[in-house]
């Protein structure tokens, strides 16, 4: 699809047709990035969106152990108050 850049103050903008907005799932805000000299317009994501699924994909956590357990120093033993 070909479209013209429109002047908005000192900047330029584009009008995105409603069917494209709906097809891409764009909301009130978008993420802009450049990849291979191309402007990428993507739906804005909430902070930490998808983290829960990523943690679950890491596998069960029942056998986790503390890696620093038992590594205390003099400060930890004498000065620090828990």
pLDDT, tens digit (0-9, with 9 covering 90-100), for 27-80:
999 999 999 999 999 998 878 888 888 888 888 777 777 777 677 788 877 887
pLDDT at 45: 81
The encoded tokens of residue 59 equal 């596998």
pLDDT tens digits, 2-32: 899 999 999 999 999 999 999 998 999 999 9
Helices (H) and strands (E) in the chain, counts: 3, 4
Supply the pLDDT for residue 4. 93
The pLDDT of residue 82 is 67
State CA 79 to chain mean position distance.
40
Could you tell me if 45 and 26 are in contact, meaning their C-beta atoms sit under 8 angstroms apart? Answer: no
Domain extent listing, the chain:
17-46
Q: Residue 81: which pLDDT band, with cuts at 50, 70 and 90?
A: confident
Calpha distance 67→50 (Å, rounded):
26
- φ/ψ of 21, rounded to 5, equals -60, -45
- pLDDT given at position 60: 78
């Amino acid at each position: 699809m070909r479209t013209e850049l429109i002047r908005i103050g000192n900047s330029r903008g584009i009008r995105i047709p409603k069917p494209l907005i709906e097809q891409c799932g764009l909301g009130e805000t978008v993420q802009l990035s450049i990849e291979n000299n191309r402007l990428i317009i993507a739906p804005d994501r909430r902070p930490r969106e998808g983290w829960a699924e990523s943690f679950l994909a890491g596998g069960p956590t029942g056998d986790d152990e503390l890696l620093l357990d038992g590594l205390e120093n003099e400060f930890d033993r004498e000065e620090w108050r828990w």
